[in-house]
C-alpha cells in the first residue's frame, strides 16, 4: 500500500486566485458598509426611544433590543430570508443579509448610544429646550456632539465585528468571500489556498478599520483640545490696595 504524497500549499496558485475573489470582496465590503449605516442610524433611533419618558414607547423598544441581542444573528438571518416572502416583501439575498446585519447590530449600537447620551449632563438639553430649541435640534446640536466622541471606539469595534460576521451571508446564498472560496474549492478540490487568502483579507480589512477608528478618535481629541483652548478663562480680579 503506497502512501499518498502530502498536498503542499501552492503560493502561485493562491496568487492566481486573487482576481476570482475580487467580486466577492466587493460584496463583503458593501454588506459591511450598508449594514453599519443601518446599525448606526437605527441604533440612534432605538436609543432615543428607549430613553423616552413615555413608557408605552420605551418599554417595547427595550424589549425589542433585548430580544435581538439574545438571539443568534444566523437565526435572525434565516428568519428574514424565509419569513419576509410570506409577507409579500421580496428582497434579494444580499439585501436580506444587509438588513439582518443592520438590525442585529443596531440593538448593540443602541446601548452604546444610550451610554453616550446619558454621559451628557442633563441640564444641557434642558437648557437648550428652555431656549426654545426643538428636541431634534437640541439632540443634534447640543447632545450628540458631546455624546459621540466617547463612543467612537465601541462603534468601531462593532464595525469590525460586523465585517467578520459577513461570512454568515453564505448561509442564504450570498456569494461573499467565504462562499466564493467554497465554490473555488469545490471546483479544484483545493480549499487551503482560498481559505487562507480570505483569512488574510479579513485580517487586512480589520486592521485598516481599526486604523481608521483610531484616526477618528484622534480627530475628536484634537477638536476637544482646540475647543478647550478657545474657551474663555475666568479673569482674576486685581486686589485693591488698602487706603
Average pLDDT over residues 180-196: 91
CATH of the domain at 194: 1.10.3720.10
Q: What's the domain count of the chain?
A: 1
CB 155 within 8 A of CB 114: no
Note whether residue 214 is domain-resident: yes
Binned at pLDDT 50, 70 and 90, residue 243 comes out as very low
pLDDT of residue 134: 82
Residues spanned by the domain of 192: 21-228
H or E segment to which residue 238 belongs: none
Note whether residue 100 is domain-resident: yes
Q: Which residue has the cell 431656549?
A: 131
pLDDT of residue 229: 62
Note whether residue 16 is domain-resident: no
pLDDT of residue 2: 55
Note whether residue 142 is domain-resident: yes
Weakest-pLDDT range from 82-86, 117-121, 158-162: 117-121
Q: What distances in angstroms separate CA 177 from CA 33, 96, 163, 211, one per listed residue?
A: 15, 17, 11, 22
Cα separation of 144 and 125, whole Å? 10
Q: What is this structure's pTM?
A: 0.85
Binned at pLDDT 50, 70 and 90, residue 242 comes out as very low
Note whether residue 65 is domain-resident: yes
Note whether residue 2 is domain-resident: no
Cα separation of 125 and 143, whole Å? 7
Please name which of 136, 161, 157 lies closest in space to residue 44, comparing C-alpha atoms: 136
Quick count: other Cβ atoms within 10 Å of Cβ 14? 16
Q: What distances in angstroms separate CA 68 from CA 64, 72, 172, 243, one per listed residue?
A: 6, 8, 19, 75
Note whether residue 59 is domain-resident: yes
pLDDT of residue 5: 55
Note whether residue 235 is domain-resident: no
CB 61 within 8 A of CB 50: yes
Amino acid at each position: 500500500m503506497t502512501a499518498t504524497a502530502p498536498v503542499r500549499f501552492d503560493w502561485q496558485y493562491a496568487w492566481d486566485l486573487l482576481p476570482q475573489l475580487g467580486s466577492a470582496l466587493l460584496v463583503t465590503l458593501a454588506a459591511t458598509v450598508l449594514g453599519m449605516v443601518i446599525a448606526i442610524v437605527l441604533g440612534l433611533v432605538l436609543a432615543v426611544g428607549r430613553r423616552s419618558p413615555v413608557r408605552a414607547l420605551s418599554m417595547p423598544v427595550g424589549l425589542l433590543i433585548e430580544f435581538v441581542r439574545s438571539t443568534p444573528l444566523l437565526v435572525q438571518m434565516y428568519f428574514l430570508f424565509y419569513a419576509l416572502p410570506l409577507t409579500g416583501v421580496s428582497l434579494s439575498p444580499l439585501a436580506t443579509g444587509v438588513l439582518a446585519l443592520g438590525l442585529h447590530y443596531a440593538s448593540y449600537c443602541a446601548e452604546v448610544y444610550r451610554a453616550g447620551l446619558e454621559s451628557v449632563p442633563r441640564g444641557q438639553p434642558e437648557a437648550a429646550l428652555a431656549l426654545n430649541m426643538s428636541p431634534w435640534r437640541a439632540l443634534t446640536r447640543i447632545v450628540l456632539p458631546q455624546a459621540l466622541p466617547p463612543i467612537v471606539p465601541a462603534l468601531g469595534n462593532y464595525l469590525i465585528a460586523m465585517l467578520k460576521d459577513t461570512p454568515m451571508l453564505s448561509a442564504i446564498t450570498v456569494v461573499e468571500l467565504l462562499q466564493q472560496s467554497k465554490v473555488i474549492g469545490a471546483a479544484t478540490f483545493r480549499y487551503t489556498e482560498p481559505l487562507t487568502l480570505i483569512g488574510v483579507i479579513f485580517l487586512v480589512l480589520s486592521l485598516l478599520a481599526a486604523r481608521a477608528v483610531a484616526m477618528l478618535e484622534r480627530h475628536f481629541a484634537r477638536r476637544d483640545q482646540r475647543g478647550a483652548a478657545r474657551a474663555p478663562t475666568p479673569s482674576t480680579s486685581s486686589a485693591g490696595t488698602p487706603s
